[in-house]
Structure 1
């Protein structure tokens, strides 16, 4: 079993989680204006990524530029990993490849705690990625605990590139934002991504 095998309903039972579904979970988060470079790249890349229609194209042309913008805004004090094995507990099925891992550490040669955000790319169905993303968030929580980093909040993102959905894990409680944020509002997406880093720092 691996992250991709989990269904959300199954996870709730297996790991004794509680779940809340909230509209506009991040409504109070301020937008952050994208750089001219990001705005230009998205304008050029989005039509091409959609035309190609593959998960890889969406990841490379839409998702990565936004995540790199976040990393630059934070002066590279976080690390960003793509397509990385994140094997935390094989017995619990918490193993497999994560599309993107963000750690609150500048170390870029290997994944170092605390892992704070997991981003899962899906070609066209956000709902199908919820179970996988939450499983990765649980793994990050366990990984951090084992490394002596008891971070209270773990964030998750499931995105097609065009639409972004945000999740939050605090203890045993999962919050899912019922709102999907379109990439046309990249300023809001960037604002939420940056706020997850700030929230994590505050709660350390």
Structure 2
């Protein structure tokens, strides 16, 4: 009976249920938290349009002080700007199910998914996960993001795309932290802030271009 119950609990897990300890034990990944994943970053000039949007939106989002407000008013405009810079070579999904392997708990709704394809009607590969941190706490989103990155790797493999490095992003809107998964799960030692938006955008572009390059090799 207990064994059956345990199986049911595992199958009912979702991305947001994982802890980093469970990620390490279940998927046999070591974690590294002392690495600067992006030691050299080319800053990207932020358009006047995005600057105007954020100038209006940020004070309002911070005053409302909910995850939904930060998502809609800060994160979404930044990701839309990324798509615009890339001439719509990527697709952007928000609040969609990404069910890859329910038996392993790799299923559930993702806050954002960036797909390296123009197709906007369905998720294509490779995939970059963006997680909204809960309670304005970056650490709260790290395990969820790691789980989604593992799912992205499996998803890519099923699609025939052997991408060595998978990237993930955790953000509160105000703060941004990046993850990288190859043989080790790297959690960037640095945290970036909205005042560094040109650097954040530069990193986002680097991530997308890196995965585009790998998918073509």
Q: Tell me which interval the TM-score lies in, with the shorter structure as reference length.
A: over 0.9
Shift of 1:114: 2.0
1:178-193 pair list within 5 angstroms: 178-193=189-204
Question: 2:9 — aligned with what?
Answer: none
Q: From the superposition, tell whether residues 69 and 95 of structure 1 become closer, same or farther in structure 2 (CA, over 3 Å).
A: same
TM-score, normalising length: structure 2: 0.90
Larger radius of gyration: 2
TM-score, normalised to structure 1, is 0.96
Q: Count matched residues.
A: 202
Q: Distance in 1 between matches of 2:197 and 2:114?
A: 19
Deviation string, structure 1 residues 144-187 (Cα, Å, up to 9, x no partner) = 101111111211011000000000111x3111112110011110
Question: Mind listing any 5+ residue stretches in structure 1 that lack a counterpart?
Answer: none
Instruction: Point out where structure 2 has 5 or more consecutive residues left out of the alignment.
Output: 1-12
In structure 2, the residue corresponding to 1:24 is in which secondary structure? Answer: coil
| Alignment match of 2:78 (pick from 34, 44, 66) | 66
Shift of 1:23: 4.8
Map of 1:17 onto structure 2: 29
Match of 1:56 in 2: 68
SS of 2:103's equivalent in the other structure is coil
In proportion to residue count, which structure has more helix? 2
**Pair 1:167 & 2:176 matched:** no
The match for 1:127 among 124, 139, 142 is 139
Which protein is richer in strand relative to its size? 1
Displacement over 3 Å in runs of 4+ = none
**Backbone CA RMSD of aligned residues:** 1.0
